[in-house]
Amino acid sequence: MANVVVVGSQWGDEGKGKIVDWLSEQADVIVRFQGGHNAGHTLVIDGVSYKLSLLPSGVVRGKLSVIGNGVVVDPHALVSEIERLKEQGVEITPDILRVADNATLILSVHRELDALRENAASKENRIGTTKRGIGPAYEDKVGRRAVRVMDLANLETLPGKIDRMLVHHNALLRGLGEPEISADDLYKELASVAEKILPYMDRSWQILDEARRAGKRILFEGAQGALLDNDHGTYPFVTSSNTVSGQAAAGCGLGPNSIDYVLGITKAYTTRVGEGPFPTEQQNEVGEFLGTRGHEFGVVTGRKRRCGWFDAVIVRQTVCTSGISGIALTKLDVLDGLDEIKICVGYELDGERIDYLPASQGAQARVVPIYETLPGWKETTKGARSWADLPAQAVKYVRHVEELIGAPVALLSTSPERDDTILVQNPFQD
Ligand code: IMP
């Protein structure tokens, strides 16, 4: 029996939704451990499409779903997501949803600050955030002035917590020449939602410890991707949480020995939304082809995603930083019909060949990809359910990817349909 962590191994949007849904059917508990409603994925079950941002995917299947302490929770966004799913016939009650009492709340002040900073930043300094308040909420968490879920349970002590937070924010707003925030308004914003959130509040560490001891299968559902990790990503063009698999433990209150298998969701090419370095980006007809064929538009913001060739250097690095046991390779069918396919196998930096993504912002912007060119295939891979259904060149491409990144393909996804999957190894039965 294994517990599985799912992480994105590029810049997010690798197609985690379908794989997480497939795994959540086999899991007993599904837990989110970082990020917030900046994430977005679409689950298609029996022809019905469900859009999730903050809720763990398990809710759609009626599985116990936990929002861990590492998540930043916008209480109003949570309530509206629950209502939206209820309208689609998904019943969400405290029997299936629990929210960690020590998770940090995202307030309107965070959302406004996120947008204010993004709009004021120059083109070079803009991160391209989702403007959902993620960064400012995490800043308040590590700055030890955040309001947390359990604070909603004690409305008498809430004004003091709000005041402590506003000392910081109002100074900032004054400096930016913006109107200050009233403590009273913030109090009302929180008090109005408290009773809708409190029934779900629980101790995430305890629920998961009990599940673990009872031999239940836990699925840790990562959001974003390893290159958006606050330490290991393309800093400062990253999100404000750790997105690597190690965060799965800290982000819900378990120890690292609760993780048995790390599945890295990996797209057969590369995409990124927002600003920041992207060495294999193709701002040409190849990028257009990939974007159109792959329907590369963001679920949360609707933004067009930047597209480029598969970058084996960054995925190889993620295999290390997330301890990836195997990958789920997605969207191979998007490459169908190309005459040739390129894979980045190394970079040239200031005249020298390197085989890693350097940490510095300047060097990341200067690296020039070194490509290998492979022949494409004319047949379709869409809907393939066994290796025998794949053209020989497509099999060669997949095998080469495995070799370059140093991790095996555990699952190969060949269309958004859940059954269009080639299973090599079930992560839960590792
Ligand atoms: P933030 O997480 O809203 O602060 O945005 C920081 C960066 O992460 C931006 O480049 C976003 O586009 C990116 N980002 C955040 N969430 C996702 C996601 O779920 N998929 C892909 N990119 C994301």
Tokens representing 290 are 């990939």
Q: For a pocket test of ligand 1, which of 9, 134, 239 has the largest count of ligand atoms closer than 8 A to its C-beta?
A: 239
β-pairing, 368-375 vs 409-413, is: unpaired
pLDDT value for 1: 59
> How remote is the CA of residue 224 from the centroid of ligand 1, in Å?
7
- Look up 13 and say whether it is catalytic: yes
CA distance 55 to 209: 20
28 assigned ligand-binding residue: no
17 assigned ligand-binding residue: yes
**Whether this model's pTM surpasses 0.85:** yes
Q: Which of 97, 107, 89 is nearest to 36 (CA)?
A: 107
Domain with CATH 1.10.300.10 in the chain: 104-197
**Residue 178, phi-psi category: left (phi > 0), alpha (psi -120 to 50), beta (remainder):** beta
Q: Annotated catalytic residue: which of 141, 169, 267, 342?
A: 141
CA distance 290 to 308: 7
State the DSSP H helix or E strand holding residue 413, giving kind and residue range, or none if neither: strand 409-413
Q: Annotated catalytic residue: which of 37, 41, 169, 267?
A: 41
Q: What is the CATH number of domain 104-197?
A: 1.10.300.10
As for ligand 1, residues whose beta carbon falls within 6 Å of it are: 12-13, 38-40, 127-130, 132, 134-135, 223-224, 228, 239-240, 273-274
For ligand 1, atom 9: residue with the closest CA: 129
> How remote is the CA of residue 297 from the centroid of ligand 1, in Å?
13
299 assigned ligand-binding residue: yes
> How remote is the CA of residue 38 from the centroid of ligand 1, in Å?
6
168 assigned ligand-binding residue: no
Architecture of domain 1-101+203-429: Alpha-Beta Complex (3.90)
- Look up 41 and say whether it is catalytic: yes
Residues in the chain: 430
* Phi, psi angle pair for 19, to nearest 5°: -70, -40
Q: pLDDT tens, position by position, for the chain (430 residues)?
A: 589 999 999 999 999 999 999 999 999 999 999 999 999 888 888 888 899 999 999 999 999 999 999 999 999 999 999 999 999 999 999 999 999 999 999 999 999 999 999 999 998 889 999 999 999 999 999 999 999 999 999 999 999 999 999 999 999 999 989 999 999 999 999 999 999 999 999 999 999 999 999 999 999 999 999 999 999 999 999 999 999 999 999 999 999 999 999 999 999 999 999 899 999 999 999 999 999 999 998 877 788 999 999 999 999 999 999 999 999 999 999 999 999 999 999 999 999 999 999 999 999 999 999 999 999 999 999 999 999 999 999 999 999 999 999 999 999 999 888 889 999 999 998 7
Is the bond into 369 cis (omega within 30 degrees of 0)?
A: no
Give me the sign of the Cα torsion angle 227, 205, 217, 258.
positive
For ligand 1, atom 12: residue with the closest CA: 274
> How remote is the CA of residue 245 from the centroid of ligand 1, in Å?
17
Question: Closest ligand 1 atom, CA of 273?
Answer: 12
CA distance 164 to 160: 6
> How remote is the CA of residue 129 from the centroid of ligand 1, in Å?
6
CA distance 242 to 224: 10
Domain with CATH 3.90.170.10 in the chain: 1-101+203-429
Q: Where are the alpha helices (DSSP H) in 56-182?
A: 75-87, 108-120, 134-142, 158-175
Inter-residue contact 17 to 41 (CB < 8 Å): yes
15 assigned ligand-binding residue: yes
